[in-house]
Amino acid sequence: MRADAARNLEAVLTTGARMLAADPGASIAAIAAEAGVDRRTVYRRFDSREQLLEAIYEARLEAIGRAIEDARLREAPVAVALHRYVENVIVVNRKWPVDLSRMLTDDTVRRRRDAYVDEVDAFLDRATEEGLLRSGLPGRWAGAVLPELVNLVNREQPGLSPGQAADIVVETLLHGIGGASR
């Protein structure tokens, strides 16, 4: 793919993700205009909004996979890997803010996403075994809380850099929000 075609595709996908997250009824013409390309450019690549959505979901999944790989969840020190993972996922969520419930209706997408969840859960088990997270919590509790914290910081603190946002998420996950001494 030529460099300009790759830039156009990236612009269409990221713009489409943002616009469809805000308005699921956004048209391809509106997405193309916002991305700075002709709608014919979009239609040459995608026959329908559904195909465009599939490409956006695929791009998000690839970004999640890279975020997990970059965090080195299996080999990096747990605290370092946790912060790197959270920071990476914040970047992914900001770049690809798509409706996950629609995304997960596809069995292939769901299996791939579930594999990523399993990998993060295995990492969180490692964090518990190494004493970074408290043991004795309900199964997969940390894995359920972590994405909620990421979503919360993205929603409530959108002006923070990914690193600053990750600091808040990791601090909250590891130490809670209580200030009382024990």
Q: What is the CATH number of the domain that holds 1?
A: 1.10.10
Quick one: average pLDDT of 142-147? 94
Whole domain around residue 96: which residue ranges?
49-175
Could you tell me the pTM of the whole model? 0.87
What token pair was written down for 171? Answer: 């601090």
Domain count, the chain: 2
Residue 63 has a pLDDT of: 95
Contact 54, 48 (CB under 8 A): no
> Cα dist. 35→16, 41, 98, 134 in Å?
8, 11, 16, 46
Q: Which residues, other chains included, contact 89 with Cβ-Cβ below 8 Å and sequence gap of 6+?
A: 64, 67, 147, 150
Q: Are residues 39 and 105 in the same domain?
A: no
Contact 88, 163 (CB under 8 A): no
Residue 41 has pLDDT above 90, yes or no: no
Q: Are residues 87 and 170 in the same domain?
A: yes
Residue 103 has pLDDT above 80, yes or no: no
Q: Are residues 75 and 163 in the same domain?
A: yes
CATH code assigned at 73: 1.10.357.10
Residue 182 has a pLDDT of: 52
